[in-house]
Amino acid sequence: MRISDPNKLAGKVMKVKNGQDMTEVTIDIGDRPVIATITSGAANDMDLKSGDDVFAMFNSISVTLIKDQKGNSDNSNW
């Protein structure tokens, strides 16, 4: 799969605020934090916690959060 770099931000999870249906994830991307709201099921599936390397992907109407399951934040395979 090819993803355009301008639509992808690499960062580290700063904070995970779990809710019943939705989870708020604060990501350190350098200049300012990015806050993503994802389903709690997705957050649980990714086992998100502070310090995890993630990618925030954007399109015109949504944000997708990705965690590399291999623990490798190298995005050369994307």
pLDDT tens-digit series, residues 32-78: 899 999 999 999 999 999 999 999 887 767 777 778 776 555 555 44
Q: What whole-number distance in Å separates Cα of residue 30 and Cα of residue 32?
A: 6
Q: What whole-number distance in Å separates Cα of residue 7 and Cα of residue 15?
A: 22
What's the pLDDT score for residue 25? 97
What's the pLDDT score for residue 38? 94
Q: What whole-number distance in Å separates Cα of residue 61 and Cα of residue 35?
A: 15
What's the pLDDT score for residue 32? 87
Name the CATH code of domain 5-66 (choices 3.40.190.10, 1.10.3720.10, 2.40.50.100, 3.40.50.150). Answer: 2.40.50.100
